[in-house]
Amino acid sequence: MKLEYILYGFGILFCLAGVGYLAAEYVRYLSEAGKLVSLLLTVGLFAFLGKYFDSLGW
């Protein structure tokens, strides 16, 4: 059971690293409007995720 959680942790870390790398690579090609929309969507993403986990009782 513990090993599974460790593997989940590694999976999540690799996913975040991959998404972070792609974001860093392509954010410089975004227009100013694209950057603003991305920022708003990121805020929305974390806000809705927070509400979801909140409703789960975390």
Binding site for another protein (CB under 8 A): 22-23, 26-31, 33-34, 37-38, 41-42, 44-45, 48-49, 51-52, 55-56
Check if the beta carbon of residue 38 is closer than 8 Å to that of residue 27. yes
Residue 30 C-beta: closest distance to another protein, Å: 5
Check if the beta carbon of residue 27 is closer than 8 Å to that of residue 35. yes
The helix (run of H) or strand (run of E) holding residue 19 is: helix 2-26
Residue 17 C-beta: closest distance to another protein, Å: 16
Q: Which is nearer to another protein, 3 or 58 (CB)?
A: 58
In the structure encoding, which two tokens stand for residue 29, read together? Answer: 């090609």
